[in-house]
Every structure is written in structure tokens, then in C-alpha cells.
Amino acid sequence: MQLIWFRQDLRIHDHAALWHTTQQGPCIALAVLSPEQWQLHQAARIKTAFYLRRLKYLKQQLQQLNIPLIILNIPLWENLASEILNLCQTLKIENLHANIEVGVNELERDAQVQQLLEQQQIRIELYHDRTLFPLGSIRNQSNQAYQVYSAFNKKCYERLILDVPTCYPEIETQDPIQLSTKLPNVDLEKFSADYVVEHAAQFWPAEDQAALDLLDDFIEDKMAHYKTDRDLPAVDGTSRLSPYLNIGVISVRQCMQALFQDGYFQIEDVGQQTWLDELLWREFYLQTLFDFPRVSKHQPFKQNTNKIQWRNAPEDLAAWQQGQTGIPIVDAGMRQMLATGWMHNRVRMITAMFLCKNLLIDWRLGEAWFMQHLIDGDLAANNGGWQWCASTGMDAVPYFRIFNPVSQSLKFDPNGDYIREWVPELAHLDAKSIHEPYAKNPDLQLDYPKPIVDLKQSRIRAIEVFKNL
């Protein structure tokens, strides 16, 4: 008997480990819920709720294939190996199959499971699935990992010209398997009740169709204008696929197949290229996480930036977290995230850079806050993005390039529509003054805070701090 272990890959289509498992004989599926571990990883409640909704749906899909799903509640990963061994011995499992996960805790967890199972002659097979290219396979001429995105991107293009990754075949229905009713199995409905988030299911449905519709809609309607529209927070111009990619409702190969429908690597327009480059940023950060494990241990990639004396400013941090900084575009983004579990990518960069540079607050506090609230909180992308903004990371923005949030707001939300949606107390202001309401009239009476920091002065302060490293 084969066991397939689902983690951040909750789908039956184009699933490397599932396909390989079914080729080796009848199989049983496993999912593990680890609430205390999720807490340690700062998983957002909305993300956990989404994961559990998806797991219910996956269970139904597996039932149609006659693959029973066992769900275990093992609060911490340190106790996982022995529990999985017990299960394997009870079910007489020959091989355990799973897709590789790249975080340092995940790799350690899998190594422990592997060690214990193999002592009992149970093999564990791990497959590359989350990335387009096997981990550690994109290398420069010296056989080293790339540290600059543009060179990494070029190498990926060379690989894609030779071969656009294709999807795995559909899974065949197997003969029914009767499992003992005595086996441990979590009541998913009961467990999920602690994680319900109001309206989340309406915003983020968990079915396959929801992800596929988003993908089709993006390719057909949005991609042509993606290069410009993706930067406009008031416009629905992005794919919004990140939550679905994150828990594996859809695979990156499915995205590639949609991008190159005839299967050949052919760039036909700038929108297509821009989205491909975004998918390759995702790839870059996942490969980085694997090649440089320190970034998943709260360490900066650029080790000299460890010397930075970040400000201990709990009041400024709280104002930023709650969207009360007095900088409208920053507050709009932070409130959007608190209300919906998602934030527009341009605004993620603006809010992150404001925290690290203008407030000079440690990027790790921002990284944690995002993880605690984002439905698409992904260790690799979130860490990569934060370290890019903080000028501490791989191929980061040069330290002297500091976004001015007001200029960004005027450029990308010229009419102030995005601000009006999320900061309604400013909705009555005209398109010019909404970006900086107190600039011309400091005595203006508004139900809105004055800026907590002077943008010019704080910019100079940040440049000085970085210059002296």
C-alpha cells in the first residue's frame, strides 16, 4: 500500500507526488493539521480557514477517485515522525510520497520522518512540484546559486526555450479501499469551526473552478494591460492567484500552460512577458529559500545589515499596523489587508518601505505582521519582498532608493480612488489634496491623524544609517 501526504499542495490535478504514488499501486491519502506549529509560523487566521475549506473540497475529490483521506491532528511537528510511523505500520505502507517543501523547518520535519521510516524499511519519496525547475538546478557558470534576479531570469528563459514544463496526466480512479473505522481521523467540520472568517468564502472560494476562472479571466482579459494595470491599486488588474498558488489549489505549471497555450516558449506581448517575470520572481524567492536557509531563520541575506540599529518605536509600529500613520496610501493598504486578508502588490512595497525606511523599524516586525494577516502569506515571497524593500536581501533595492509614498500615490492612484475606498474619512477631498491632506493646510479639521513622520527628514535619516554600515 502507498501513502500520499498532502501539505501545501491541495489538489488532484497536476500533482507530482500524487501521480507517482498512483503509478505504484493502490494508495491512501494523509493530511496533518498542526495548529501550534501554524502559530509558530504566524499563519494568518484567514489563510488557515482557506486551507481547511480547501481540504474539505479535496477530501470529496479524493473520494471520487476512491482514495480515502486520513486527517491527523498533530499540534507540533516535533511529534510528527512517530505518529506517521504508527500510521504507516497500521496500514502496512510500503512507501510514503510527498512534494518537497523548502522552508528550513519543513526540510527538518521531512528529514526526521525519513530517518524514522527508513529505519523500519518504509521508503519516503519526495518530488519537485512547487517550482518550475528542480530546487538547486538553476546555477551560474561557477555552479553557484544566482544572487541577482536578472541573471536568474535569463537562465530560466534559456531553460524554458528548450522545454516549457508540462502538467502531469489525470489520475485514474482506483478500486475502493475499506479502512478500519478505528483509525484516528479528525472531524474537519468541528476542527474548522475555530477558524471561520466572515465573508472569506465569498471573497476566496476554495473550489478548483474559482482558481481556473481567475486564470482564464486573467489570460483573456487582463494580461494585455498587465504591465501598466498591475501597478494601479484601484484597478482589478492582477491575477489574484497568489492564495491559490500558495496552498496548491493550482500549480505553477498550469499557469505556464495557460501562458504558452501551444506548449512552445514564445513571447507574444509585453503583458505575457511581465506576468512570466512575476512568476519567475516567485521561483527566484523559492530557490533562494532553499539555497540560503538563513533567510528562513529571520536573518538578512546581506549579513552586514545585521548591524543596523532599528528604532524601537512601539507607537509608530502600532499606527502602521492599524492604518493610522497619516499617510493615506499607506493607511489604505494596511486597512485593505486587515479587512480582506489581501493587499495590492504595489501597495505592499509602499507600506513595507515606509516601515523599514521612513520609520526605520525592523523589517522582521513587518514581515511577521503580513504573515499574520495575509491569505497568500508565503514564507519565500513575503520574506523576499520584505528584504527587497528593506535593502537587506537578495538583489534588493539600493538603500538610497526610497519610495516617497505620496509621489507613489499621485503616480499610481492619481484620482485617489483607492484611498477613498479604504480611508473613507478622506473620501470628500479632491484628487490633489487626498494624497497629503495637511500639506497645504495644517489646521484642516479632519477625523484623520497627522503624519507620524516627516518624509524628507526620515529619508535622510535612513540613508545615513545604511551609508554607515
Q: Exactly one of 5, 204, 342, 386 is catalytic; which is it? A: 386
Q: Exactly one of 83, 125, 207, 278 is catalytic; which is it? A: 278
Task: Look up 19 and say whether it is catalytic.
Answer: no
Q: Exactly one of 19, 363, 369, 422 is catalytic; which is it? A: 363
Domain ranges of the chain: 2-129, 134-167+207-291, 303-467
Cell numbers for 354: 515606509
Per residue in 196-252, pLDDT (tens digit) is 888 888 889 999 999 999 999 999 999 999 999 999 999 999 999 999 999 999 999
Task: Look up 422 and say whether it is catalytic.
Answer: no
What pLDDT score was predicted for residue 12? 98
Task: Look up 345 and say whether it is catalytic.
Answer: yes
The architecture CATH gives domain 134-167+207-291: Alpha Horseshoe (1.25)
What pLDDT score was predicted for residue 200? 86
Tell me which fold the domain 303-467 belongs to: DNA Cyclobutane Dipyrimidine Photolyase, subunit A; domain 3 (1.10.579)
What pLDDT score was predicted for residue 199? 83
Task: Look up 369 and say whether it is catalytic.
Answer: no
* Of residues 460, 453, 435, the one with CA closest to residue 319: 453
How far is residue 323 from each of residues 154, 412, 452, measured CA to CA in Å?
A: 39, 19, 11
Per residue in 296-355, pLDDT (tens digit) is 888 999 999 999 999 999 999 999 999 999 999 999 999 999 999 999 999 999 999 999
What pLDDT score was predicted for residue 237? 95
* Ranges in the chain, pLDDT < 50: none
Give the pTM. Answer: 0.96
Phi, psi (rounded to 5 degrees) for 300: -75, 150
Q: Exactly one of 38, 83, 207, 310 is catalytic; which is it? A: 310
Q: Exactly one of 66, 185, 345, 404 is catalytic; which is it? A: 345
Tell me which fold the domain 2-129 belongs to: Rossmann fold (3.40.50)
Task: Look up 363 and say whether it is catalytic.
Answer: yes
